[in-house]
Amino acid sequence: MAITSQEFNIDEALKQHISALRRTLKEHNYRYYTLDAPSIPDAEYDRLLRQLEILEAESGEVVPADSPSQTVGAMVSQTFAAREHLEPLLSLANAFNGVEADAFVQRIRDALGAEISEAGLQFIIEPKVDGLAVNLRYEDGRLTIAATRGDGKAGEDVTDNIRTIADIPWHLNASDKSIPDLLEVRGEVYMSKAAFADLNARQLLEGGAAFANPRNAAAGSLRQLDAKVTALRSLSFFAYGVGFGGRELAASQSELLALLSSFGFATQETAVVNDLSGLLLGYELLQQQRADMLYEIDGVVYKLNDFALQQRIGAVARSPRWAIAHKFPAQEVTTVVNAILWQVGRTGVITPVADLQPVAVGGVMVSRATLHNIDELQRKQVYAGATVIVRRAGDVIPEVVKAIEVDEQAIFPSLPDCCPVCAASLFRVEGEVAWRCSGGLSCSAQLKERLRHFVSRGAMDIEGLGDKLIARLVEENLLSDIAKLYELDFESLSDWQGVGDKKIANLKQAIESSKQKPLARFLHALGIRHVGSATSAALATYFGSLDALKLADEEALIEVPDVGPEVAASIRSFFAEAHNCDVIERLLKQGVEPFVPQQLHSDHPLAGKTVVLTGSFSAVQRRAAQEQLRTLGVKPASSVSKNTDVLIAGEKAGSKLTKARELGVMVADEVALMEWLNWK
């Protein structure tokens, strides 16, 4: 049969599209693996790679060995010496939903045949750390070579830099296991969230550029020419597998991880399940815990646990058939900026905000993203019409990471001449980046933000006063400062649409109940600059009363834990301002009585101890329990570490409970908690 010109053109167009995709992906591989400077989010790369795989399958032609669908990583750079891996370091295929995870499980069942019963099939679930893979070679138990993934066959020699990472032993602990003469250990180098924040703070302080995310920071830190620089970057490492010489050491992945831990490596918490429902449950649990973890993960990894079965299934060109990465919803995506808006905060800071074409980020639709300040906006080269990368991690407010392919003809935004809300002049404190509105409480935007903060759950906790109601109360001149909340004319609200008698009654009760709050909550509600909830608690405990705090000089303030010269100066400045003192006096006259809970139980069993609460409790809310424990001299903490004394676990306690048991931390239940809360 003759081929028509139309069929020929369609075929040629498909080939050209495939060729263009391969070139694009190779360029992105080079930027990601070699330059540590990716120009697109991971989710966009995954989408392009998936598109290439589909088109290659549709074409029916033999896929070349150098196609990105068949290769791992990128060519080794010339900056470091190349080191061959004794066994290839493969990548993982991806699943993006439950259907694809189901297909993975079904492929394994089909490959193994009917002799493997469903009950006899075990999978292990591991968090997928957002870092970079390295291969460690040990000879007679001694670390001799460390290399990056590279192209999967050879990587860059980063041995000196790897030796600066405390989680990586220079000599393996033999214990009661014989170590092979030659052994490759695989794992992930990463940077914790805390280390990443510290590094970016130093970068900005020294006039450098901030890193976009912990993965880029870790990659850049590991590939420093000077190992002393790497040592300052606080890198970490998790071991997750072995290469040459390792498969005979254990019968399963779970046994191998236990062995690697005994060798001296840090390993992650894992779970072993038997079916798809177990895999998906593990995925959901880790996604819920993601924001509270000390490091970034971008998904979970499912592996067939049994090594003998892994060997039967084998691998394709770039990835094993017995493992897959189930990715979380993208936290970095691309979209277009409609306009740059200017927002006024409660302290008068003028913040640029990008109005975006709505896009799903981390499972949430985002249409606004912060740009922090005018300097950051200019550095990231963001403007109306720009295509940008937007990031949202956990519950963090979405932010613009950077613009892509900046148009040289673009008009970049500049700082407004005056406040965009009240038209007052702007000023900048020497040594600070932020510009501020000089309008004070005459600026309705500042007043609204202060009121929102004052009534928030962590402050005075006044339910029923939402953003819309606050905005209207300010616009109707019924609220001119926070003290007016306790002088509110409720009768004037009765004819407002949506504000009925029940809502007014509830609002009255909430405002009345807020009059009795701990001093720490009251101080936090006042919105003193640089004074958050932790500092407020420290001030309340140290001074014991509002009057004592108001009279304290900077020298006395600096004696308080977590209070430095800048915070002390801010506190003194706040109480020196006549308007602030007037508002506080009016609050007190209206019956607001901040108190310091008496610490009657210095002999309490938990006094002075660090205690973590996790899970849900039936008899008490966790936040309330933490506050009550604090009044008893206990130190509540949010995460489990070697410094934790007690973990109190309620229902559905997850990874914190597992970690506590691994560290040998004392674990108690809700019954013990209630006894401690009612200690006499």
**pLDDT beyond 60 at 599:** no
CA atoms of 372 and 558, how far apart (whole Å): 29
Note the pLDDT tens digit of each residue in 410-446.
888 889 999 999 999 999 888 788 899 988 767 999 9
Highest mean pLDDT among 254-258, 372-376, 597-601, 673-677: 254-258
How high is the pLDDT of residue 6?
Answer: 45
- The SS3 of residue 156 is strand
* 446-484 CB burial, b ≥16 within 10 A, e <16: bbbbbbbbbbeeebbebebbeeebbbebbeeebbebbbb
* Average pLDDT, integer, range 575-582: 88
HSE (side-chain half, CA atoms, 13 Å) at 504:
14
Q: Tell me how far CA of residue 593 lies from CA of 111, 232, 318, 334, 453, in angstroms.
A: 71, 48, 66, 50, 19
- What is the per-residue DSSP string for 20-58? HHHHHHHHHHIIIIISS--SS-HHHHHHHHHHHHHHHHH
User: Distance between CA atoms of 245 and 240, rounded to whole angstroms?
Assistant: 15
Q: Boundaries of CATH 2.40.50.140 in the chain?
A: 333-425
The per-residue pLDDT for 365 is 82
Residues of the chain with CATH 3.30.470.30: 83-327
pLDDT single digits (tens) 333-358? 889 999 999 999 888 899 999 999 99
**In the beta sheet, which residues pair with residue 531?**
none
* 5 vs 671, residue with greater confidence: 671
Domain 5-71 has CATH 1.10.287.610: yes
DSSP 108-140: HHHHH-TTS-GGG--EEEEEEESSEEEEEEEET
Which is more confidently placed, 453 or 79? 453
Residue 387 to residues 133, 307, 335, 353, 384, Cα–Cα distance (Å): 30, 46, 6, 15, 9
Sheet containing 235-242: give its strands across: 142-148, 132-139, 182-191, 235-242
Is 15 marked active-site?
A: no
Where in the sequence of the chain do the CATH 3.40.50.10190 domains occur? 610-677
Task: Report, at the CATH architecture level, how domain 610-677 is classified.
Answer: 3-Layer(aba) Sandwich (3.40)
- Annotated catalytic residue: which of 128, 327, 448, 517? 128
CATH assignment of 333-425?
2.40.50.140
Give the pLDDT band of residue 282 (cuts 50, 70, 90).
Answer: very high
CATH 1.10.150.20 fits 441-589, yes or no: yes
**Predicted confidence (pLDDT) at residue 93 exceeds the cutoff of 50:** yes
**What's the mean pLDDT when you consider all of the chain?**
85
Weakest-pLDDT range from 30-34, 60-64, 171-175, 434-438: 30-34
If you average pLDDT over residues 156-176, what whole number do you get?
86
Q: Which residue has the tokens 């170590």?
A: 179
User: Is-contact 516 486, C-beta < 8 A?
Assistant: no
> For the residues 658-665, what does the mean pLDDT come to?
86
Name which residue leads in pLDDT, 677 or 648.
Answer: 648
The model scores a pTM over 0.95: no
* Cα–Cα dist 384/406, whole Å: 11
- Residue 34 confidence (pLDDT): 62
Pairing of strands 182-191, 154-156: unpaired
CA 157 vs. chain centroid, Å, equals 30
Residues of the chain with CATH 1.10.287.610: 5-71
| Protein fold of 83-327 | D-amino Acid Aminotransferase; Chain A, domain 1 (3.30.470)
Per-residue pLDDT at 606: 86
